[in-house]
Amino acid sequence: MSSLEISSSCFNQETKLLAFEPSRKDMDEVEEKSKEVINVTTEKFPVDEVSQLVISPLCGAVSLFVGTTRNNFEGKKVISLEYEVYLPMAENEVKKICSDIRQKWPVKHIAVFHGLAHRAASLEAVSYAIDTLKAKVPIWQKEIYEESSSWKGNRVLWGIQQ
């Protein structure tokens, strides 16, 4: 399965006006670009590296959610997991979530990593990101048991906004 990484910068008008001026030596005057890093992949990645992506000297906190997987379901042992993803749409839906987050909370950087692991968002944005990701991002997980398998389905409605 291919891995996709996107980093985009968002400038607002105020930030552009505070662009580098050669005569300024005080680094506090420099505005840090807000960024989003989106990575939907089956490759492993260390959680602390994801955290590093969002740390900012302008912010006082990093909020992190780490999702893990179970080894059993209804008494059946899970032997392995398979994934499918509709990649371009998954990426777009995650971007929409990031955009919604920025409208609701004063967040600087956002990193969303989905694979066998992890995602990060900031403070109250965490719950929203997880709930919405489960409802809208087209990723599927199949549990392989000893004698059968099943595609999982999140027990949420589509939550499509009208």
Partner 1 sequence: MVEVLYFAKSAEITGVRSETISVPQEIKALQLWKEIETRHPGLADVRNQIIFAVRQEYVELGDQLLLLQPGDEIAVIPPISGG
DSSP string, the chain: ---EEEEEEE--HHHHHT---TT---GGGSPPPEEEEEEE-SS---HHHHHHHH--TT-S---EE-----SEETTEEP-EEEEEE-HHHHHHHHHHHHHHHHHHS---EEEEEESSS-EE--TTHHHHHHHHHHHHS-EEEEEE-SS-EEE---SS------
142 touches partner 1 by CB under 8 A:
yes
The stretch near partner 1 (CB under 8 A) out of 14-22, 27-35, 101-109, 129-137 is 129-137
104 touches partner 1 by CB under 8 A:
no
Q: Is the CB of 31 or the CB of 128 nearer to partner 1?
A: 128
Q: Is the CB of 78 or the CB of 135 nearer to partner 1?
A: 135
From the CB of 70, what's the least distance to partner 1, in Å? 12
From the CB of 10, what's the least distance to partner 1, in Å? 21
CA atoms within a 13 Å half-sphere pointing along the CA-CB vector of 138: 8
Q: Draw the binding track, 57-76, toward partner 1 (x: CB under 8 A; -: no contact).
A: ----------x---------
Among 34, 101, 141, 145, binds partner 1 (CB under 8 A): 141
Measured between its terminal Cα atoms, the distance across the chain in Å is 33
90 touches partner 1 by CB under 8 A:
yes
- Determine the size of the site formed for partner 1 (CB under 8 A): 26
Binding site for partner 1 (CB under 8 A): 67, 84-86, 88-90, 92, 114, 130, 133-142, 151-154, 158, 160
